[in-house]
Amino acid sequence: MAEQIVVWSPEALEDVDAIAAYVARDSVFYAGAVVEKMLTTASGLNHFPLSGRVVPELNRPDIRERFVYSYRLIYRIEPARILVAAVIHGKCLLDDATTNRLLVE
């Protein structure tokens, strides 16, 4: 498999912004650390796209997730890119809106 580029959806970036704002209420330092870890984790997906587990709610080999602290970084493997489509809390199941983001081609 050729190396793919990692692309963030606008919605996933909004998810990260919301998480950072929430965490920053208690600790600006920790909010920065969480965001940095999310970006680092996502950037490594181009080398190891299959390193994440298959998202249990969807059970599709092209839709995977990596855990970053207590958050699920959910991405879709496509032929030419890896799309980071959502970042949600680890205790949350996918809702319909998030599922739609992952399934839209």
At 2-37, the pLDDT tens digits run 678 999 999 999 999 999 999 999 999 999 999 999
Give the Cβ contact number of residue 10 at 10 Å: 8
> How much of the chain, in percent, has pLDDT values that exceed 90?
75
pLDDT at residue 44 in the model: 92
Query: Which residue's entry shows tokens 């580029």?
Result: 5
**Which of 91, 41, 52 lies closest to 71 in space, CA to CA?**
91
pLDDT at residue 92 in the model: 83
Tell me, what DSSP letter sits at residue 55? Answer: P
How far apart, in whole angstroms, are the C-alpha atoms of residue 42 and residue 80? 16
0.85 cut: is pTM over it? yes
Whether 1 shows a pLDDT value over 60: the answer reads: no
Whether 47 shows a pLDDT value over 80: the answer reads: yes
CATH class of the domain whose range is 5-103: alpha beta
- List the beta strands (DSSP E) in 1-105: 5-8, 53-54, 63-68, 71-77, 81-89
